[in-house]
Amino acid sequence: MARKLVPIYSDMLYAPKMLTSSAYETKPELSIVIVQDNIYDLPKPLIFGHKGNPKFAPENTLLSFQEANDANVDGYEADVAVSMDGIPFLIHDVTLRRTSDVADVFPDRQYRAAEAFKLIELKQLNAGKWFLHQNPYGTVHSLSKSKKDKIMRQKIMSLLDLANLAKLNNKMLIFDLRMPRDWGNPHIQDYIPIIVETVLKSGIDQSKVMWISGPMNEYVMNVAPGFVQVYGAETNARNIISRKIKMLILEYNTLSERLILHYKDMYNISIISYTSSAEWTYSLAWCQGAYAVISDDPKMHRDLTKPIFASTPHEYHVLWVSTYILCCVISMLAILRSRKMFDRNR
């Protein structure tokens, strides 16, 4: 199938973001999309709900993942830490302050790392009220009263509960995990075996678990040989072979079709793109040939029937050159106007 190189200057803004703590999707540099003769033959990327469905429910809660189910996601993405008493639970931030009422319940410990708490203490916290008060995605006004009532009752979720939910709904599972950030936590050395054992305890099909390869990778591959090994950065052949890497998870604005084709052709490795909360970022990953996308708005992405970039190379050039010229004209006019105002005020 013939391919044509098309430059895309992605100056379109902005949408809340995923694996990093940034509030916005950053503007990528010039990237190359290879538009095939029939763009619609490209397989649509699978969709992982980033922390569930965080636009319409508080992140990393049961309700958020239930909302992701309603959006018909292919898998769940979450963030995992291990509590003081050795129970893996879901949390993105270092502390509990942003996504719970820890400042009210444990005011003297609110700045401690989340891993400084036991599960029984974590279960005392409300993990939903913050969402209604902060309205992080500007969606609260669209929620029904019954939905808001459900949000108000959300609690911190355990990894076992998430794995059980994934098994029940036949979903894939991928998660960031971290070494305990509190030096008083006794599980700094064994947090990885604890997390692996918890996932296996759920009975989920191991092939549904995308394990981000890191410390103790040989242990993980021996105990859970069916886990799909994923790497969180570009890497070399030696690492791919030794760690049995099957997929890479890479930030959307670092990707190009050439990069994706390189890993596919050389190593038979697929790419998972993160994070997307806009149609254009999902469409970009679609046109580039990504295997999956970690999504902040899985329903919007599920409803897309074709990439919004599906136009000819000539149309791309006309669109972006025209946009560039228009921006230059507007900038020049603004500079001239500011100079005239400055001259009047002298």
Residues in the chain: 346
Give the tens place of pLDDT for each residue, 92-139. 999 999 999 999 999 999 999 999 999 999 999 999 999 999 999 999
Tens-digit pLDDT string for the chain (346 aa): 444 433 333 333 223 333 443 334 444 444 444 444 455 578 999 999 999 999 999 999 999 999 999 999 999 999 999 999 999 999 999 999 999 999 999 999 999 999 999 999 999 999 999 999 999 999 999 999 999 999 999 999 999 999 999 999 999 999 999 999 988 999 999 999 999 999 999 999 999 999 999 999 999 999 999 999 999 999 999 999 999 999 999 999 898 888 999 999 999 999 999 999 999 999 989 988 999 999 999 999 999 998 986 554 456 567 768 888 999 999 999 888 887 776 666 6
Distant-in-sequence, close-in-space partners of 255: CB < 8 Å, separation ≥ 6: 31, 271, 273, 284, 285, 288, 290
Give the tens place of pLDDT for each residue, 137-159. 999 999 999 999 999 999 999 99
Quick check: 58 and 127 in contact, CB under 8 A?
yes
CA dist list (Å): 187 to 86, 89, 243, 251: 7, 14, 24, 30
Question: Model-level pTM?
Answer: 0.80
Handedness of CA 34, 38, 40, 44 (dihedral sign): negative
> CA torsion, points 207, 212, 216, 221, in degrees to nearest 10?
20
Query: What pLDDT is recorded for position 39?
Result: 56
Query: What pLDDT is recorded for position 244?
Result: 97
Query: What pLDDT is recorded for position 287?
Result: 87
Domains of the chain by start residue, with CATH: 41-307 (3.20.20.190)
Query: What pLDDT is recorded for position 251?
Result: 95
Query: What pLDDT is recorded for position 40?
Result: 57
If you search the block for the tokens 């999902």, which residue do you land on?
282
DSSP 272-340: EEEEE-SHHHHHHHHHHT-SEEEES-HHHHHH--S-TT-S-HHHHHHHHHHHHHHHHHHHHHHHHHHHH
The phi, psi pair for 160, rounded to 5°, reads: -60, -40
Quick check: 211 and 80 in contact, CB under 8 A?
no
Quick check: 141 and 49 in contact, CB under 8 A?
no
CA–CA separation, 93 vs 99, rounded Å?
A: 8
Quick check: 287 and 309 in contact, CB under 8 A?
yes
